[in-house]
Structure 1
Amino acid sequence: MKDFSLKYGSGKIKLSLPEEDIISVLSGRHMKPIPSPQDAIWAALREPISSPPLAKICKKGEKIALVVSDYTRATMADLFLPLLVNGLNEIGIPDQDMFIVFANGTHPLHTREKQEKIVGKEIASRIEMFDHDYRDESNLVDLGKTSRGTPVKANKMVYEADRKILTGSITYHYFAGFGGGRKAVLPGISGFETIQTNHRLSMRPESTTAALDNNPLSLDMEEAAKMLKPDFILNTVLNENKELCGIFAGDLIAAHRAGCQFINEYAMVGIYQKADLVIAASGGGGMDINYVQSHKAMENAHFALKEGGVMILLAESSEGFPSDIYLKYIQLGSADKIHAELNRNFTIPGHTVFATFYKSEKFKIIWVTKLPKEIVKSMKITPAESYEEAYALAKKWLAGKRRTYIMPVAYTTFPVLK
């Protein structure tokens, strides 16, 4: 027998498995924090990827738009913005010639307190700040259509600035492939119709985790972002402890792709077969705090599982659902019905529920969680009080076929079949 101790909420779940059942333990490499973050940021700004440095892009007298992620994205903007702004000052651009626009997408607008928390007190006191409002047609400019037919309307203030600098963070994203880069524009500072039309491409099977080159939704985002003509990006990569591990600055596409490759080198794990059983712990802490975060572990784990196989998901989800809108989609009862509703009116919560049903209709999922049992059952998932209960049921279903992967931190581990 082989023993494991897997993080679950603020505690751990201990389990033992016959060694002959275990194919492998799937874990990405831990990203170590950069020892001197400020030095790394300066270095990235001085030697950007496939781009001249800002000193050769921006000129005295120009207005500079800084697009900054909203409160839902951890980017360490409070660390890099003072360096970025001070660097622009050195070029001869005063604070009053810069402004920040928060890339809210369709998220709620910020309070002044939230804005200050994102950028830090120093920058909040120096640089004028605005929230992007996707509903405000008077502050949207029509840039035409992408080759896939997406009508592109984007923030007018940003578009009219002499120079546009996009910031953000890069993570895996289960239908955009990766966050960061072009997402500062779409959905970040786009209009409602633009976001809806683009996000409907998420229903295509090619729109999936870690996919870029063949991902229609990501390619559409890139095309739309180019229409805004951004001059420079600065993207961070953080580890599960929200520590700075990578900084990628320069060209919209090249710098973003470099950051994506960096993540793959740590999180992507090659496998040579799919398993009958995947035991996946989200990773505890913030990684299984609610339904949405726990779903990210479920999404990654399913790539290692045979169709019809069994997944045991260990993800506490102590804070439940972020809002009641998720329950509305769960009540529809099937992936097909949710798909039809999303074609009428796309929402991110709806897509998360759709993606859950897509997996629960394809695999047998047992979820050890604190989510209400009846709601879990409504998603065609079997709830379990304990790992022992879940494993006993998995053995019964598998009837002797138990080739198994263990994923201790499924939230940050991406299995790829070789």
Structure 2
Amino acid sequence: MVDVWIPYGRTEVCVRVPTKRYIGEIKPKKAEKPANVDEEIARGLKNPLGSRSLKETSEGRKSASIAVDPFIRPDLCERILLPLISELIDYGMVKSEISIIMGSGLRPLGKEVLRQFSEELRSLVSIHDCRDENHEYVGKTKHGTDVYVNKVFLDSDLKVILSKVSLHPFEGFSGGRDIILPGIAGEKSIRRNRALLLRSGAQPGMLDGNPVHEDMTEAAEMVGIDYCINVFLDDRGDLIKVFSGGLKESFEEAVGFVREHTVVKVSERADVAVVGMGGYPVDSKLSDVIEALMYASGAVKRKGTIIAVAECAEGYGDETFYRWMTKFDSLNQIKRAIKMHFEYGGEKAYYLLKLKEQLSLKLVSAIPRFYSDNVFRLETYRAVNEALAEALREEGKGAKVSVIPQGLSTLPVFKGG
């Protein structure tokens, strides 16, 4: 037997794989944390890619707006924004002419987010509301999206974005251009863009030919971004690396780094993949598990089995995910709903049912079976080795097993295409 330990909540579980059945672990390249976070931030800001320095870019500008990714922790945002704003003031900008906009897209952010910022920044921070009237039309994309963007941002002399770059199920990679659309765009613009996830090419780790990426990039180019800051974070939200500069150049450099540390080429697809999420807090909600299932599917043969190992201590998570799974019976119904009126969480129902058409899915979790079995239609177990034994029985003699301990930050890609 080969024993492999997988993070589960705040502890670990041991999966025991028969030696002759074991292909191996699929693990991404480890990214080292910087010895000093503030020094890494300073390094990233002082070395822009494909653009002039912040000093040169801000010359003659009297106002600035910084659109910020809400998936970056407020304390880390502050460590990046404070030196940035200090520089702008040193270059002659008045603090009262600087605004920070939390680019929440369709997701409502509570006012408690503002309280997490220090008094020094709190007065500058606002939360974007995609449903209000404060948007201006900037044009139509080749994919047919009418782009409306936050007017405060558009009216500023200097336009800056701060985003997190990571794997994304249908954008290919998050960050950069997505702080404009969906981040600070109008509701109709966002729903139209997100519906493009149904089209061919909208896949994790893919940018070429990805309609969602193309649409977002075109919208960001219409707006005209003066300076970009992209960050790569670990599973705990801690800073690994900072990239700054032009919209295209800084994003591409960040994506290259993320690829290096998340994409793993595999020479053999397994019949069964045992997939961990990475433990607490990333395995605390079932809705977050769906992304890991999508990523892991590249390591499994068609009609194979994925066993997701996630404690789900906070239950199913996203309410829209739950509502769509109870409301819609088929994949086609969900596709129609996404086209007509996209809602965040609905795409998770879409991907879950799509995966179930291709693979057998099992869940090892503490979530009540009423939800996992009846609502989300997942065969649920309390012990990982019980689930593995059943999967091997179903897959038959000679079935091979891979283990992916960090499923949310690992994208297996089959070498054969």
The TM-score bracket by the shorter chain reads over 0.9
Task: Please give the secondary structure, in 2, of the residue aligned with 1:288.
Answer: coil
- Output one character per residue of 1:47-66: Cα deviation in whole Å (capped at 9) or x when no partner: 20000011111124511111
Structure 1 residue aligned with 2:411: 414
Amino acid at match of 1:158: F
**What's the TM-score, normalizing by structure 1?**
0.95
* CA 238–329 in structure 1, closer or farther in 2 if over 3 Å, else same: same
Q: 1:383 to 1:205 in 2, by over 3 A?
A: farther
Query: Residue 250 of structure 2: which of 251, 255, 265 is its match?
Result: 255
Q: How many residues align?
A: 412
- Aligned partners of 2:115 and 2:30: how far apart in 1? 31
Q: For the Cα contact (< 8 Å) 2:320–2:343, is it kept in 1?
A: no
- The alpha-carbon deviation at position 392 of structure 1 amounts to 2.2
Write the distance in 2 (CA, Å) between the matches of 1:13 and 1:61. 56
| Deviation, structure 1 residue 73 | 4.0
Partner residue of 2:120 out of 115, 119, 122 = 122
Provide the C-alpha distance between the structure 2 equivalents of 1:361 and 1:122, rounded to a whole number of angstroms: 52
In the alignment, the residues of structure 1 paired with residue 118 and residue 310 of structure 2 have an alpha-carbon distance, to the nearest angstrom, of 33
User: Normalising by structure 2, what TM-score?
Assistant: 0.95
CA shift, 1:38, in A, is 1.7
Equivalent positions of 1:7-26 (< 5 A) are 7-26=7-26
For residues 121 and 60 of structure 1, what CA distance do their matches in structure 2 show?
28
What per-residue deviation string (whole Å, max 9, x for no partner) do you get for residues 253-306 of structure 1?
110111111011111111112111111111111120101222222122111111
Q: Partner of 2:98 in structure 1? A: 98
Aligned to 1:140: 135
Q: Secondary structure at the match of 2:203?
A: coil
Counterpart check, 1:108 vs 2:131: no
Q: 1:156-171, aligned counterparts within 5 Å? A: 156-171=151-166
Secondary structure of the equivalent of 1:285?
coil
RMSD: 1.5
3-state SS, counterpart of residue 185 of structure 2: coil
Structure 1 residues 287 and 100, CA, compared in 2 at 3 Å: closer, same or farther? same
- 1:145-224 to structure 2, matched below 5 A, reads 145-224=140-219
2:299 is the alignment partner of 1:304: yes
One-letter amino acid of the structure 1 residue matched with residue 18 of structure 2? P
Q: Conserved in 2, the CA contact under 8 Å of 1:2 and 1:19?
A: yes
Write out the 4+ residue segments of structure 1 that deviate beyond 3 Å after TM superposition: 72-75
Whether 1:389 and 2:394 are equivalent positions in the alignment is no
Q: Does the residue aligned with 1:348 lie in a helix, a strand or coil?
A: coil
Distance in 1, Cα, partners of 2:179 & 2:5: 38
Any gaps of 5 or more consecutive residues in structure 1?
none
**1:107 Cα deviation from its structure 2 partner:** 1.6
Paired position in structure 1 for 2:358: 362
Please tell me whether the aligned partners of residues 360 and 379 of structure 1 are also in contact (alpha carbons under 8 angstroms): no
Aligned to 2:234: 239
Q: Retained in 2: the 8 A contact 1:103–1:132?
A: yes
1:67/1:166 contact within 8 Å kept = yes
Q: Deviations over 1:121-174 (max 9, x none)?
A: 4322xx52222111112x100111001110000001110111100111111111
